[in-house]
Amino acid sequence: MLGSYWLFIAGSLLLLSILLHQIPLLLLSLLFFLAVGAGKLWNRYCLSRVEYRRKLSADHVFFGEEVQLEVDIANRKALPLPWIHVEDEMPAQVTFLKGRTTESHKANRVVLNNLLSVSWYHRVKRRYPIRCEHRGYFAFGPARIRSGDLFGFFNKEMDTEPVEYLTVYPRIVPLEKLGIPSRQPLGDIRTRRHIFQDPILTLGIREYQAGDSLKRIHWKSTARLQKLQTKIFEPTTTIDMGVFVDVRTVKPPYWGSIRELLEMVIMVAASVANHALKEGYPVGLYVNQNRWFSSEPVRIPPSQNPDQLRFILEALAKLHTSETWPIAEMVAREAPNLAWGSTVVVISAMPSPALASTLLNLKRAGRSVALVRVGKGGDLLERNGIPVYNVPADTAWRQLDSVALGGKP
């Protein structure tokens, strides 16, 4: 506010006081110089050795859970800060149970304001309970810190770049009813037709029969028994499941998204994956959109890894509304990579004839396919012989206790 003229004003007054032999004028110039000088010095050093940190009590939470955000402001110097204002960017999707946020000029962002007075060598921590009522991957920060002199003549600000991330998994509800073919996942996993064998798991040995591959001969036993012995492998019983999620929620060629419908689709996908993994199936996830900051699509191959559910939920948490490819194209490209006997489960709110055609081709090629249609959008595919399960979307997905997969296989 005073700019750089203050020194000139103080100097002029000092000169005048000397010329006029005026002690009060000298006092006036001194007080002016001291006040503005103190303000200037204060402003220069106010943000030195000021630390700002934020910490979340958890970085991965389930939908509806609460976490605690702790902001920590430390002043590690002898100069007290009469005021320090921290504007911290927060996601608009989380609910602050205490404290209030203001609007931000950025979309889906709010600003958490903290105005404090921090004395010398002092630290202040403020804790905000937060409820996570939206699925997503949220960034907390960056923050802008502002402080200045006592009198409001000068102020200074700095930005702190570090950002904390919070992943809120989608909601998981129990599947109320399942009706997908018994040979395939989501039903009975026991199969009598041991088509595949696992070469790692040796069940035993038997005498060689004509037609046995030489690769299967157990040479040590052959040498011991002086007869050709063939290894018998354990049949594999793991049948993979590929969950394909279609993020399109409006009818082509229109663009846009119905947020609630997409959330329902994601919730159904998470619930299906959770159920299948609990039942012991290796489950994979494929989404017709790219990963964040990547040109690669969301693709998690089927696995029984104990962390597989976490991987799937994390991927689902990060989904946004934009479709990168049509789901039909995605299914056609990814399904051949799945093991034989795998089931392709497509969850879509807007199934298209192209998707029906792709699923039909897979079915003809011997794959098991199923479509979970969320809502009433898209075209009906039952006439093609593809099992379709309908999940009504007329109720608010937040209030659902379970998902009913209705319809005939």
Partner 1 sequence: MTQATRAASRDWVNGIVAPAVVIMMEACWLYAWFIWLGRWSYLAWQRPPLSLATVIFLLGASFIATRFFLGRRWAFGKIQAAIIGCGLLAVIVATRLDYGGGYGLLSTGWFGYAARLAWHFFSEPNPLVIAPFIGVYLWWRGIALGRSLLSFDDVYRSFALGFVALIALLLICGSGSGTSSFQGLTSTIGIEVAGFFFFGLTALALANLKEIRERLLQGEGVSSSFSRRWLYVILLVIGGITLVGIGIATIFSADFVSLITKFMSLAYQLLISGITYIFVPIGFIVALLVYIARLLASLVTRAQVQPFSPQDMMDPDEAIQYIAPRGMPAGLVLGIKIAALVLIIAVIVYFLAGAIFRMRARKIKSDIEEVHESLFSWAFFKKDLALLFGMLLQFFRRKKKEAGIPAETVPEWYTTGTVREPLSIREMYRNLLWTAANARLARRDYETPGEYARRVGRAVPEGSQPLHQFTRLYLDVRYGEIPADDAKVQTATRLWRELRRVLTGSE
Identify any residues that bridge with 231 across adjacent strands, giving them in sequence order.
205
80 binds partner 1 (CB under 8 A): yes
- Judged by CB under 8 A, which stretch of 81-89, 172-180, 312-320, 344-352 contacts partner 1? 81-89
Q: Least Å distance between CB 110 and partner 1?
A: 11
| Packing angle, helices 308-317 and 259-278, rounded to 10 | 180
143 binds partner 1 (CB under 8 A): no
- Give yes or no for a cis peptide into 351 (omega within 30° of 0): no
| Packing angle, helices 23-45 and 6-20, rounded to 10 | 160
**Cα–Cα distance, 213 to 229 (Å, whole number):** 11
Closest C-alpha to 56, from 194, 201, 186, 167: 167
Residue 51 φ then ψ, to 5°: -115, 140
121 binds partner 1 (CB under 8 A): yes
125 binds partner 1 (CB under 8 A): yes
**Cα–Cα distance, 407 to 402 (Å, whole number):** 16
Cα radius of gyration (the chain) = 33
Nearest residue (CB) to partner 1, 8 versus 340: 8
Nearest residue (CB) to partner 1, 67 versus 313: 67
16 binds partner 1 (CB under 8 A): yes
- Judged by CB under 8 A, which stretch of 26-34, 55-63, 301-309, 396-404 contacts partner 1? 26-34
28 binds partner 1 (CB under 8 A): yes
281 binds partner 1 (CB under 8 A): no
Closest C-alpha to 271, from 360, 191, 374: 374
23 binds partner 1 (CB under 8 A): yes
**Cα–Cα distance, 160 to 73 (Å, whole number):** 12
- Judged by CB under 8 A, which stretch of 114-122, 193-201, 205-213, 318-326 contacts partner 1? 114-122
Residue 62 φ then ψ, to 5°: -90, 160
**Cα–Cα distance, 76 to 363 (Å, whole number):** 68
Angle, alpha carbons 8-14-20 (nearest 5°): 135
Q: Least Å distance between CB 98 and partner 1?
A: 5
**Cα–Cα distance, 349 to 368 (Å, whole number):** 20
Nearest residue (CB) to partner 1, 100 versus 408: 100
114 binds partner 1 (CB under 8 A): yes
SS3 44: helix
- Judged by CB under 8 A, which stretch of 12-20, 161-169, 259-267, 344-352 contacts partner 1? 12-20
Q: Least Å distance between CB 331 and partner 1?
A: 49
**Cα–Cα distance, 84 to 156 (Å, whole number):** 10
Member of 7, 30, 189, 339 binding partner 1 (CB under 8 A): 30
- Judged by CB under 8 A, which stretch of 98-106, 198-206, 262-270, 400-408 contacts partner 1? 98-106
Sign of CA dihedral 200, 201, 207, 209: negative
SS3 371: strand
Site string for partner 1, 282-311 (x = CB under 8 A): ------------------------------
Member of 3, 4, 21, 256 binding partner 1 (CB under 8 A): 21
Member of 13, 276, 283, 386 binding partner 1 (CB under 8 A): 13
Map tokens 């199936």 to a residue.
281
Other CB atoms within 10 Å distance of the CB of residue 245: 28
Member of 35, 178, 217, 228 binding partner 1 (CB under 8 A): 35
Member of 41, 58, 150, 380 binding partner 1 (CB under 8 A): 150
Member of 7, 22, 321, 361 binding partner 1 (CB under 8 A): 22
**Cα–Cα distance, 371 to 32 (Å, whole number):** 79
3-state helix, strand, coil in the chain (%, to 5): 25, 35, 40
- Give yes or no for a cis peptide into 174 (omega within 30° of 0): no
56 binds partner 1 (CB under 8 A): no
Nearest residue (CB) to partner 1, 24 versus 256: 24
Nearest residue (CB) to partner 1, 36 versus 300: 36
395 binds partner 1 (CB under 8 A): no
Nearest residue (CB) to partner 1, 70 versus 198: 70
Residues that bind partner 1 (CB under 8 A): 1, 13, 16, 20-28, 30-32, 34-35, 38, 74-78, 80, 82-83, 85, 98-102, 112-117, 119-128, 150-152
